[in-house]
Amino acid sequence: MISRSRNSGERTARVQIDYDIEMYGQQQSVELPFVMGVMADLSGHGGAFLPPLDERSFVDIDASNFDHCMRDIGPTLALQVPDHLGGQPAMQVDLSFGRIDDFRPDAVARQVPALARLLRAREQLALLLTYMDGKAGAEQLLNQLIHDRDLLAATAAEPDEAPALPAAEVRA
């Protein structure tokens, strides 16, 4: 029989297996522990040395040590994906995961150079939008910058040092 206990304040087990037995003439309910073992090379390093099965030990994994176990295993993924950005038929993508947050879309994008550039541009545009909020002339200046290629090129060029302002324009 499978049952789930509902004790308030106590985290219930997801799987709780009980069975009834008769012991010394009395009916008793005995709980069987739920233990699951996975035997697999989940690292993604196909040629890596692995000890024989009888020399390996199980690792207890729970929410508190999941990231530590991920770092120890060091899972990686190498694959070819369609290149929708560069015009090539496919691009090589090499991903590595050291914690659960590395599976988030933004963390995966940071590991792919083409996507990382797009993500950085998106973040900068979001910052610009935040900065422009409430600034009356900022939108006009940006429109002028976008439509004037010479001004855009001059603004995009990063000089080694900032140009010195004439003495009359320096404000304290």
Looking at every residue in the chain, the average pLDDT score rounds to 80
Angle of helix 138-147 relative to helix 113-132, nearest 10 degrees, comes to 140
Kindly tell me if the per-residue pLDDT of 168 is higher than 70. no
Whether 48 is covered by a domain: the verdict is: no
Give residue 105's pLDDT.
Answer: 95
Kindly tell me if the per-residue pLDDT of 79 is higher than 80. yes
Number of domains into which the chain is organized: 1
Whether 109 is covered by a domain: the verdict is: yes
Percent of the chain with pLDDT over 90: 23
Give residue 109's pLDDT.
Answer: 95
Nearest by Cα to 61 from 44, 98, 36: 36
Whether 19 is covered by a domain: the verdict is: no
Are residues 75 and 42 in contact, defined by beta-carbon separation less than 8 angstroms? yes
Kindly tell me if the per-residue pLDDT of 171 is higher than 50. no
Kindly tell me if the per-residue pLDDT of 155 is higher than 80. no
Nearest 5°: CA angle at 107, between 58 and 122? 170
Kindly tell me if the per-residue pLDDT of 1 is higher than 50. no
The CA distance from 48 to 98, in Å, is: 18
* Host domain of residue 133: 61-154
Whether 50 is covered by a domain: the verdict is: no
Whether 30 is covered by a domain: the verdict is: no
Give residue 170's pLDDT.
Answer: 44
Mean pLDDT within 13-17? 74
Whole-model pTM?
Answer: 0.58
The CA distance from 16 to 54, in Å, is: 29
- For the segment 83-126, what is each residue's pLDDT rounded down to a tens digit? 988 788 899 999 999 999 999 999 999 999 989 999 999 998 88
Whether 27 is covered by a domain: the verdict is: no
Q: How confident is the model at residue 9 (pLDDT cuts 50, 70, 90)?
A: low
Distances (CA, A) of 171 to 7, 105, 140, 145, 167: 69, 46, 24, 25, 9
SS (HEC) of 44-100: CCCCCCCCCHHHCCCCCCCCCCHHHHHHHHCCEEEEEEECCCCCCCEEEEEEECCCH
Whether 4 is covered by a domain: the verdict is: no
Distances (CA, A) of 118 to 60, 85, 132: 39, 10, 21
Q: Give φ, ψ of 66 to 5 degrees.
A: -60, -50
